[in-house]
Amino acid sequence: MNIVIAGGGDVGIKIAQKLIYEGYNVTLIEREGNLINMLKNKLDAMIIKGDATDVATLQRADILNATLFIAVTSTDTDNLVACSLVRRMCGSTISIASKINEYNQFFSHKEVSPKDFGIDATITPWELTVKKVIELIHNPDIFEVANYAGSMAQMVGVKVGKDFPYSSTPLFEVALKDSMLTRIRLVAIQREGDIIIPRGESRIYPNDKLYFVGKTDVVKEVVKKYFSLNISLDNIIITGGNKKVVKLAKLLAKLKRTVTIIEEDKRRCRELSAHLEDALVINGLATDRNLLDELKMEDSCVVNMSNDDEYNILSSFMAKKYGASKTICMIKHSSIVSVINNLAPIDTVFSPHALTVGETLKLTRKDDLFSVSPFTEIEAETIGINITEELSILGIPLKSIPLPPKTIIGVIIRGEEVIIPTGEDTVMLGDRIVIFLLSSEIYEVKRMFSKR
Protein backbone atom coordinates (compact mmCIF):
# COMPACT_ATOMS: atom_id res chain seq x y z
CA MET A 1 0.00 0.00 0.00
CA ASN A 2 1.41 3.36 -1.06
CA ILE A 3 0.67 6.37 1.13
CA VAL A 4 1.53 10.01 0.42
CA ILE A 5 1.77 12.48 3.30
CA ALA A 6 1.84 16.25 2.85
CA GLY A 7 3.63 17.99 5.72
CA GLY A 8 6.89 17.12 7.45
CA GLY A 9 6.19 18.66 10.84
CA ASP A 10 5.82 16.81 14.14
CA VAL A 11 2.50 15.23 13.13
CA GLY A 12 3.64 14.23 9.64
CA ILE A 13 6.83 12.63 10.97
CA LYS A 14 4.99 10.62 13.63
CA ILE A 15 2.39 9.37 11.15
CA ALA A 16 5.13 8.40 8.70
CA GLN A 17 7.12 6.55 11.37
CA LYS A 18 4.13 4.52 12.47
CA LEU A 19 3.12 3.65 8.91
CA ILE A 20 6.68 2.63 8.07
CA TYR A 21 6.65 0.35 11.13
CA GLU A 22 3.59 -1.33 9.61
CA GLY A 23 5.31 -1.96 6.29
CA TYR A 24 3.61 0.70 4.17
CA ASN A 25 5.45 2.50 1.37
CA VAL A 26 5.48 6.14 2.45
CA THR A 27 6.23 9.27 0.44
CA LEU A 28 6.40 12.55 2.34
CA ILE A 29 6.16 16.01 0.76
CA GLU A 30 7.72 19.00 2.56
CA ARG A 31 8.22 22.50 1.19
CA GLU A 32 10.77 23.75 3.73
CA GLY A 33 14.24 22.98 2.40
CA ASN A 34 15.88 23.15 5.83
CA LEU A 35 13.83 20.14 6.97
CA ILE A 36 14.63 17.85 4.05
CA ASN A 37 17.95 16.45 5.32
CA MET A 38 16.49 15.84 8.78
CA LEU A 39 13.55 13.97 7.26
CA LYS A 40 15.81 11.86 5.06
CA ASN A 41 17.94 10.91 8.06
CA LYS A 42 14.94 10.17 10.26
CA LEU A 43 12.59 8.30 7.93
CA ASP A 44 12.90 5.28 5.68
CA ALA A 45 10.66 6.99 3.16
CA MET A 46 10.76 8.86 -0.13
CA ILE A 47 11.17 12.55 0.78
CA ILE A 48 10.18 15.12 -1.83
CA LYS A 49 10.91 18.82 -1.52
CA GLY A 50 7.98 20.71 -2.93
CA ASP A 51 4.52 22.16 -2.43
CA ALA A 52 1.63 19.70 -2.10
CA THR A 53 -0.65 22.29 -3.71
CA ASP A 54 1.39 21.98 -6.91
CA VAL A 55 0.35 19.35 -9.47
CA ALA A 56 3.94 18.71 -10.55
CA THR A 57 4.96 17.95 -6.95
CA LEU A 58 2.07 15.52 -6.55
CA GLN A 59 3.08 13.79 -9.77
CA ARG A 60 6.65 13.45 -8.49
CA ALA A 61 5.18 11.81 -5.39
CA ASP A 62 3.53 9.23 -7.69
CA ILE A 63 0.11 10.18 -6.38
CA LEU A 64 -1.66 8.21 -9.12
CA ASN A 65 -0.38 4.96 -7.58
CA ALA A 66 -1.24 5.87 -3.99
CA THR A 67 -4.18 4.44 -2.08
CA LEU A 68 -4.20 7.06 0.68
CA PHE A 69 -3.32 10.76 0.82
CA ILE A 70 -2.91 12.47 4.20
CA ALA A 71 -2.66 16.27 4.39
CA VAL A 72 -1.17 17.48 7.66
CA THR A 73 0.63 20.69 6.73
CA SER A 74 0.46 23.60 9.17
CA THR A 75 -1.98 25.52 6.96
CA ASP A 76 -5.64 24.58 6.56
CA THR A 77 -5.95 26.20 3.15
CA ASP A 78 -2.96 24.25 1.84
CA ASN A 79 -4.49 21.04 3.13
CA LEU A 80 -7.81 21.78 1.46
CA VAL A 81 -6.27 22.74 -1.88
CA ALA A 82 -3.96 19.72 -1.88
CA CYS A 83 -6.85 17.36 -1.13
CA SER A 84 -8.96 18.91 -3.87
CA LEU A 85 -6.15 18.51 -6.40
CA VAL A 86 -5.54 14.90 -5.43
CA ARG A 87 -9.23 14.07 -5.78
CA ARG A 88 -9.33 15.62 -9.26
CA MET A 89 -6.17 13.79 -10.30
CA CYS A 90 -7.02 10.36 -8.84
CA GLY A 91 -10.80 10.22 -8.76
CA SER A 92 -12.28 7.55 -6.49
CA THR A 93 -9.17 5.34 -6.47
CA ILE A 94 -7.74 7.05 -3.39
CA SER A 95 -8.86 7.80 0.18
CA ILE A 96 -8.13 11.30 1.44
CA ALA A 97 -7.73 12.53 5.02
CA SER A 98 -6.96 16.07 6.12
CA LYS A 99 -6.11 17.89 9.33
CA ILE A 100 -8.33 20.96 9.66
CA ASN A 101 -7.66 23.25 12.61
CA GLU A 102 -10.40 25.81 11.97
CA TYR A 103 -13.19 23.48 10.85
CA ASN A 104 -16.01 25.98 11.34
CA GLN A 105 -14.22 28.64 9.31
CA PHE A 106 -14.62 26.52 6.19
CA PHE A 107 -17.62 24.31 6.85
CA SER A 108 -20.06 26.34 8.96
CA HIS A 109 -22.44 26.77 6.01
CA LYS A 110 -24.72 23.80 5.40
CA GLU A 111 -23.98 23.85 1.67
CA VAL A 112 -20.21 23.46 2.17
CA SER A 113 -18.68 20.22 3.42
CA PRO A 114 -15.32 18.40 3.31
CA LYS A 115 -16.70 16.26 0.48
CA ASP A 116 -16.69 19.37 -1.71
CA PHE A 117 -12.89 19.32 -1.42
CA GLY A 118 -12.68 15.60 -2.05
CA ILE A 119 -11.96 14.81 1.61
CA ASP A 120 -13.17 11.49 3.02
CA ALA A 121 -12.22 12.17 6.64
CA THR A 122 -11.19 15.25 8.61
CA ILE A 123 -9.14 15.38 11.79
CA THR A 124 -9.68 18.45 13.98
CA PRO A 125 -7.00 18.75 16.70
CA TRP A 126 -8.91 21.11 18.99
CA GLU A 127 -11.89 18.74 19.04
CA LEU A 128 -9.64 15.82 19.98
CA THR A 129 -7.98 17.94 22.68
CA VAL A 130 -11.25 19.06 24.27
CA LYS A 131 -12.62 15.51 24.12
CA LYS A 132 -9.49 14.21 25.86
CA VAL A 133 -9.70 16.76 28.69
CA ILE A 134 -13.42 16.11 29.24
CA GLU A 135 -12.65 12.39 29.39
CA LEU A 136 -9.92 12.96 32.00
CA ILE A 137 -12.18 15.15 34.13
CA HIS A 138 -15.10 12.73 33.86
CA ASN A 139 -12.84 9.80 34.83
CA PRO A 140 -10.32 11.31 37.30
CA ASP A 141 -8.93 7.94 38.39
CA ILE A 142 -7.60 7.00 34.93
CA PHE A 143 -5.40 8.66 32.33
CA GLU A 144 -6.07 6.33 29.38
CA VAL A 145 -9.23 4.53 28.32
CA ALA A 146 -10.26 2.52 25.27
CA ASN A 147 -13.38 0.46 24.69
CA TYR A 148 -13.81 -2.65 22.55
CA ALA A 149 -16.72 -4.60 21.08
CA GLY A 150 -19.40 -2.09 21.93
CA SER A 151 -17.84 -1.38 25.35
CA MET A 152 -17.98 -5.04 26.42
CA ALA A 153 -14.26 -4.85 27.19
CA GLN A 154 -12.21 -1.89 28.34
CA MET A 155 -8.54 -1.00 28.67
CA VAL A 156 -7.47 1.66 31.19
CA GLY A 157 -4.29 3.29 32.41
CA VAL A 158 -3.98 4.06 36.13
CA LYS A 159 -1.28 5.33 38.47
CA VAL A 160 -0.32 3.28 41.52
CA GLY A 161 -0.72 5.15 44.79
CA LYS A 162 1.30 4.71 47.95
CA ASP A 163 -1.59 2.81 49.58
CA PHE A 164 -1.82 0.04 46.97
CA PRO A 165 -1.94 -3.13 49.13
CA TYR A 166 0.21 -5.29 46.86
CA SER A 167 3.20 -3.01 46.33
CA SER A 168 6.45 -4.98 45.98
CA THR A 169 4.54 -8.29 45.88
CA PRO A 170 5.30 -10.65 42.96
CA LEU A 171 2.32 -10.86 40.63
CA PHE A 172 2.00 -14.64 41.01
CA GLU A 173 1.46 -14.10 44.74
CA VAL A 174 -1.06 -11.33 44.10
CA ALA A 175 -3.07 -13.77 41.96
CA LEU A 176 -3.19 -16.23 44.88
CA LYS A 177 -4.26 -13.57 47.38
CA ASP A 178 -6.88 -11.66 45.37
CA SER A 179 -9.23 -13.36 42.92
CA MET A 180 -10.61 -10.04 41.67
CA LEU A 181 -7.26 -9.16 40.11
CA THR A 182 -7.26 -12.44 38.18
CA ARG A 183 -10.33 -11.18 36.31
CA ILE A 184 -8.28 -8.54 34.49
CA ARG A 185 -5.14 -8.81 32.40
CA LEU A 186 -2.24 -6.51 33.26
CA VAL A 187 -0.63 -5.86 29.87
CA ALA A 188 2.05 -3.29 30.69
CA ILE A 189 3.82 -1.43 33.48
CA GLN A 190 5.33 1.98 32.76
CA ARG A 191 8.19 2.79 35.12
CA GLU A 192 10.58 5.73 34.69
CA GLY A 193 10.19 5.71 30.93
CA ASP A 194 10.51 1.95 30.50
CA ILE A 195 7.72 -0.34 29.32
CA ILE A 196 7.65 -3.63 31.21
CA ILE A 197 5.61 -6.58 29.99
CA PRO A 198 4.56 -8.20 33.28
CA ARG A 199 5.46 -11.77 34.16
CA GLY A 200 4.76 -13.83 37.27
CA GLU A 201 7.85 -12.52 39.07
CA SER A 202 7.16 -8.88 38.17
CA ARG A 203 6.34 -6.46 40.98
CA ILE A 204 4.34 -3.24 41.16
CA TYR A 205 5.61 -0.15 42.97
CA PRO A 206 4.10 3.23 43.92
CA ASN A 207 4.09 5.74 41.03
CA ASP A 208 4.10 2.95 38.43
CA LYS A 209 1.57 3.40 35.67
CA LEU A 210 -0.42 0.27 34.90
CA TYR A 211 -2.33 -0.66 31.77
CA PHE A 212 -4.91 -3.43 32.12
CA VAL A 213 -7.86 -4.80 30.19
CA GLY A 214 -10.92 -6.88 31.02
CA LYS A 215 -14.68 -6.95 31.04
CA THR A 216 -15.80 -3.35 31.43
CA ASP A 217 -17.72 -3.73 34.69
CA VAL A 218 -14.84 -5.70 36.24
CA VAL A 219 -12.31 -3.06 35.16
CA LYS A 220 -14.44 -0.38 36.80
CA GLU A 221 -14.64 -2.43 40.02
CA VAL A 222 -10.86 -2.83 40.13
CA VAL A 223 -10.28 0.88 39.51
CA LYS A 224 -12.75 1.84 42.23
CA LYS A 225 -11.30 -0.59 44.79
CA TYR A 226 -7.57 -0.08 44.23
CA PHE A 227 -6.93 3.09 42.25
CA SER A 228 -9.66 5.57 43.14
CA LEU A 229 -8.44 9.07 43.99
CA ASN A 230 -11.68 9.75 45.89
CA ILE A 231 -12.01 13.21 44.41
CA SER A 232 -14.86 15.08 42.76
CA LEU A 233 -13.72 17.46 40.04
CA ASP A 234 -16.44 20.09 40.17
CA ASN A 235 -14.13 23.11 40.25
CA ILE A 236 -12.02 23.48 37.09
CA ILE A 237 -9.26 26.06 36.65
CA ILE A 238 -8.01 26.52 33.08
CA THR A 239 -4.90 28.46 32.08
CA GLY A 240 -4.73 30.07 28.67
CA GLY A 241 -7.14 31.96 26.47
CA ASN A 242 -7.01 30.19 23.11
CA LYS A 243 -9.92 28.72 21.17
CA LYS A 244 -9.46 25.30 22.76
CA VAL A 245 -9.98 26.91 26.16
CA VAL A 246 -13.18 28.61 24.99
CA LYS A 247 -14.60 25.34 23.62
CA LEU A 248 -13.65 23.47 26.79
CA ALA A 249 -15.12 26.11 29.10
CA LYS A 250 -18.45 26.06 27.25
CA LEU A 251 -18.69 22.27 27.48
CA LEU A 252 -17.76 22.26 31.16
CA ALA A 253 -20.43 24.87 31.88
CA LYS A 254 -23.00 22.58 30.25
CA LEU A 255 -21.77 19.80 32.54
CA LYS A 256 -22.43 22.06 35.55
CA ARG A 257 -18.78 22.48 36.47
CA THR A 258 -17.51 25.72 38.04
CA VAL A 259 -15.00 27.18 35.59
CA THR A 260 -12.22 29.71 36.25
CA ILE A 261 -9.89 30.88 33.47
CA ILE A 262 -6.50 32.51 34.10
CA GLU A 263 -5.21 34.59 31.18
CA GLU A 264 -2.26 36.98 31.11
CA ASP A 265 -3.46 39.30 28.32
CA LYS A 266 -6.00 41.92 29.51
CA ARG A 267 -7.59 42.38 26.11
CA ARG A 268 -8.09 38.65 25.70
CA CYS A 269 -9.60 38.54 29.20
CA ARG A 270 -12.26 41.03 28.12
CA GLU A 271 -13.02 38.93 25.03
CA LEU A 272 -13.28 35.77 27.09
CA SER A 273 -15.60 37.42 29.60
CA ALA A 274 -17.87 38.54 26.79
CA HIS A 275 -18.08 35.04 25.29
CA LEU A 276 -18.19 33.00 28.49
CA GLU A 277 -20.91 34.24 30.81
CA ASP A 278 -20.70 31.17 33.03
CA ALA A 279 -16.95 31.36 33.65
CA LEU A 280 -14.88 33.55 35.96
CA VAL A 281 -12.03 35.11 33.97
CA ILE A 282 -8.98 36.31 35.92
CA ASN A 283 -6.24 38.48 34.48
CA GLY A 284 -3.00 37.06 35.82
CA LEU A 285 -0.40 34.32 35.72
CA ALA A 286 -0.99 30.74 36.84
CA THR A 287 2.47 30.86 38.42
CA ASP A 288 1.60 33.79 40.71
CA ARG A 289 1.85 32.52 44.28
CA ASN A 290 -0.60 35.07 45.66
CA LEU A 291 -3.19 34.15 43.04
CA LEU A 292 -2.74 30.44 43.73
CA ASP A 293 -3.31 31.07 47.44
CA GLU A 294 -6.56 32.92 46.69
CA LEU A 295 -7.90 30.20 44.39
CA LYS A 296 -7.83 27.40 47.01
CA MET A 297 -6.23 24.84 44.72
CA GLU A 298 -6.95 21.90 47.06
CA ASP A 299 -10.45 21.50 45.66
CA SER A 300 -9.59 22.08 42.01
CA CYS A 301 -8.61 20.33 38.82
CA VAL A 302 -6.11 22.52 36.95
CA VAL A 303 -5.98 22.23 33.16
CA ASN A 304 -3.01 24.00 31.58
CA MET A 305 -3.80 24.68 27.92
CA SER A 306 -1.90 27.80 26.90
CA ASN A 307 0.13 27.85 23.68
CA ASP A 308 3.40 27.88 25.66
CA ASP A 309 4.71 24.44 26.67
CA GLU A 310 7.12 25.78 29.30
CA TYR A 311 4.38 27.86 30.93
CA ASN A 312 2.03 24.86 30.97
CA ILE A 313 4.64 22.64 32.60
CA LEU A 314 5.60 25.23 35.22
CA SER A 315 1.95 26.05 35.93
CA SER A 316 1.24 22.36 36.46
CA PHE A 317 4.19 22.09 38.85
CA MET A 318 2.93 25.08 40.82
CA ALA A 319 -0.67 23.87 40.89
CA LYS A 320 0.40 20.50 42.25
CA LYS A 321 2.63 22.16 44.84
CA TYR A 322 -0.32 24.25 46.00
CA GLY A 323 -2.47 21.16 46.44
CA ALA A 324 -4.50 20.81 43.25
CA SER A 325 -6.59 17.62 43.28
CA LYS A 326 -5.60 16.86 39.69
CA THR A 327 -3.37 18.50 37.08
CA ILE A 328 -3.70 18.10 33.32
CA CYS A 329 -0.97 19.54 31.12
CA MET A 330 -1.18 20.03 27.35
CA ILE A 331 2.14 20.03 25.48
CA LYS A 332 2.42 20.78 21.78
CA HIS A 333 5.67 18.88 21.25
CA SER A 334 4.81 15.21 21.65
CA SER A 335 8.48 14.19 21.82
CA ILE A 336 8.83 15.51 25.39
CA VAL A 337 5.60 14.09 26.83
CA SER A 338 7.27 10.94 28.17
CA VAL A 339 10.13 13.00 29.65
CA ILE A 340 7.74 15.24 31.57
CA ASN A 341 5.73 12.23 32.71
CA ASN A 342 8.85 10.70 34.21
CA LEU A 343 10.18 13.84 35.90
CA ALA A 344 7.18 15.85 36.94
CA PRO A 345 4.55 15.31 39.66
CA ILE A 346 1.89 16.10 37.06
CA ASP A 347 -1.08 13.73 36.89
CA THR A 348 -1.57 13.69 33.12
CA VAL A 349 0.47 15.10 30.25
CA PHE A 350 -0.77 14.82 26.68
CA SER A 351 -0.08 16.25 23.25
CA PRO A 352 -2.68 17.31 20.64
CA HIS A 353 -0.15 16.16 18.05
CA ALA A 354 -0.20 12.64 19.49
CA LEU A 355 -4.00 12.64 19.51
CA THR A 356 -4.02 13.78 15.87
CA VAL A 357 -1.56 11.05 14.89
CA GLY A 358 -3.63 8.39 16.63
CA GLU A 359 -6.87 9.52 15.01
CA THR A 360 -5.25 9.65 11.57
CA LEU A 361 -3.79 6.16 11.89
CA LYS A 362 -7.23 4.70 12.47
CA LEU A 363 -8.04 5.59 8.86
CA THR A 364 -5.35 3.28 7.50
CA ARG A 365 -6.39 0.20 9.45
CA LYS A 366 -9.64 -1.09 8.08
CA ASP A 367 -8.88 -4.67 7.10
CA ASP A 368 -8.86 -7.26 9.89
CA LEU A 369 -8.71 -4.72 12.70
CA PHE A 370 -11.94 -3.81 14.45
CA SER A 371 -10.36 -1.30 16.83
CA VAL A 372 -7.08 0.59 17.13
CA SER A 373 -6.17 2.59 20.24
CA PRO A 374 -2.77 4.30 20.28
CA PHE A 375 -1.57 5.40 23.70
CA THR A 376 -0.94 9.08 24.33
CA GLU A 377 1.94 8.67 26.81
CA ILE A 378 3.94 5.73 25.42
CA GLU A 379 4.95 4.37 22.02
CA ALA A 380 2.49 1.50 22.22
CA GLU A 381 -1.08 0.67 21.35
CA THR A 382 -3.81 -1.91 21.56
CA ILE A 383 -5.33 -3.44 18.48
CA GLY A 384 -8.38 -5.60 18.14
CA ILE A 385 -8.45 -8.34 15.53
CA ASN A 386 -11.42 -10.25 14.13
CA ILE A 387 -10.72 -13.96 13.89
CA THR A 388 -11.92 -15.31 10.53
CA GLU A 389 -11.42 -18.73 9.00
CA GLU A 390 -8.58 -17.40 6.87
CA LEU A 391 -6.35 -16.53 9.81
CA SER A 392 -3.35 -18.80 10.36
CA ILE A 393 -3.59 -18.76 14.19
CA LEU A 394 -6.99 -20.46 14.29
CA GLY A 395 -6.94 -23.41 16.69
CA ILE A 396 -3.36 -22.85 17.88
CA PRO A 397 -2.77 -22.54 21.68
CA LEU A 398 -1.76 -19.00 22.53
CA LYS A 399 1.48 -20.20 24.12
CA SER A 400 2.51 -21.61 20.72
CA ILE A 401 2.11 -18.31 18.87
CA PRO A 402 5.60 -16.74 18.60
CA LEU A 403 4.63 -13.21 19.56
CA PRO A 404 7.27 -10.46 19.70
CA PRO A 405 8.77 -10.04 23.20
CA LYS A 406 6.71 -6.99 24.16
CA THR A 407 3.39 -8.14 22.76
CA ILE A 408 0.64 -9.69 24.88
CA ILE A 409 -2.89 -10.91 24.17
CA GLY A 410 -5.12 -9.16 26.69
CA VAL A 411 -8.59 -10.63 26.22
CA ILE A 412 -10.63 -12.85 23.93
CA ILE A 413 -14.17 -11.65 23.25
CA ARG A 414 -16.38 -14.61 22.36
CA GLY A 415 -20.02 -13.77 21.84
CA GLU A 416 -21.12 -12.05 25.05
CA GLU A 417 -18.20 -13.45 27.03
CA VAL A 418 -14.92 -11.65 27.83
CA ILE A 419 -12.17 -14.20 28.50
CA ILE A 420 -8.88 -13.58 30.29
CA PRO A 421 -6.85 -16.18 28.38
CA THR A 422 -4.12 -18.55 29.51
CA GLY A 423 -1.44 -20.05 27.32
CA GLU A 424 -3.62 -23.13 26.81
CA ASP A 425 -6.52 -21.17 25.30
CA THR A 426 -7.10 -21.12 21.56
CA VAL A 427 -9.00 -18.63 19.46
CA MET A 428 -12.12 -19.72 17.63
CA LEU A 429 -13.89 -18.58 14.52
CA GLY A 430 -15.79 -15.38 15.26
CA ASP A 431 -13.65 -14.42 18.26
CA ARG A 432 -12.23 -10.95 18.67
CA ILE A 433 -8.92 -10.53 20.47
CA VAL A 434 -7.34 -7.44 22.00
CA ILE A 435 -3.54 -7.26 21.79
CA PHE A 436 -1.11 -4.87 23.49
CA LEU A 437 2.10 -4.17 21.59
CA LEU A 438 4.84 -1.64 21.04
CA SER A 439 4.35 0.51 17.95
CA SER A 440 7.57 -0.88 16.47
CA GLU A 441 6.14 -4.42 16.59
CA ILE A 442 2.88 -3.84 14.76
CA TYR A 443 4.18 -4.94 11.35
CA GLU A 444 5.34 -8.30 12.70
CA VAL A 445 2.08 -8.83 14.60
CA LYS A 446 -0.06 -7.94 11.58
CA ARG A 447 1.98 -10.34 9.46
CA MET A 448 1.53 -13.08 12.04
CA PHE A 449 -2.23 -12.57 12.12
CA SER A 450 -2.57 -12.15 8.36
CA LYS A 451 -4.64 -14.40 6.15
CA ARG A 452 -3.19 -17.71 5.09
- Average pLDDT on 43-69 reads 97
With a cut of 90, say whether residue 252 has pLDDT above it.
yes
Is the CATH code 3.40.50.720 the one for domain 235-353?
yes
The predicted pLDDT at position 344 comes to 62
Evaluate if residue 372 carries a pLDDT over 90: no
Give the tens place of pLDDT for each residue, 327-355. 999 998 877 887 787 766 788 899 999 89
Residue 386 has pLDDT above 90, yes or no: no
Q: Domain 142-226 maps to which CATH number in 3.40.50.2300, 2.40.50.140, 3.30.70.370, 3.30.70.1450?
A: 3.30.70.1450
Domain 2-123 -> CATH class = alpha beta
Confidence class for position 20, pLDDT limits 50, 70, 90: very high
Across 129-150, average pLDDT: 90
pTM: 0.88
Range with lowest mean pLDDT among 98-107, 278-287, 292-301, 306-315: 98-107
Cβ count near 118 (within 10 Å): 22
Q: Where in the chain is the domain with CATH 3.40.50.720?
A: 2-123, 235-353
Fold of 357-448: Alpha-Beta Plaits (3.30.70)
Query: Residue type at 228?
Result: S
Please tell me the predicted confidence (pLDDT) of residue 168. Answer: 95
d(CA 33, CA 31): 6
| Stretch 37-51: mean pLDDT | 96
Looking at the chain, the domain(s) classified CATH 3.30.70.1450 span 142-226, 357-448
Q: Are 364 and 4 in contact (CB under 8 A)?
A: no
- Provide the mean pLDDT of the chain: 90
